[in-house]
Amino acid sequence: MADSLAVHGHEIIDLVESHPGGIRLGMLMEAVDVRYGRMAMFHTGSTHGMTLDELLRHLEQRYKLRITGGVVFPGGSPD
């Protein structure tokens, strides 16, 4: 079994921030698969070994990004 790539959550935040008008969740997932591979695992300073779905929930709970209507936006305080 090949080792999976460990990707810091800031890489995903940066990718989302490169689309200030938002990026469709499906497009984000595809871009992450192409860039890091399907086996990539994600981490932050406090949490390790997350899937992309888990990372997105983690980042949304911390207002690092927002997911609305299937579109991922750079973070901020909730409206």
Give the chain's domain count.
1
Residue 53 lies in a domain: yes
More confident residue, 7 or 2: 7
Output the pLDDT for position 75: 87
- pTM tops 0.85: yes
- Domain span holding position 16: 6-71
Residue 33 lies in a domain: yes
User: β-pairing, 6-8 with 65-68?
Assistant: unpaired
29-56 confidence digits (pLDDT tens)? 999 999 999 999 999 999 999 999 999 9
Contact 31, 15 (CB under 8 A): yes
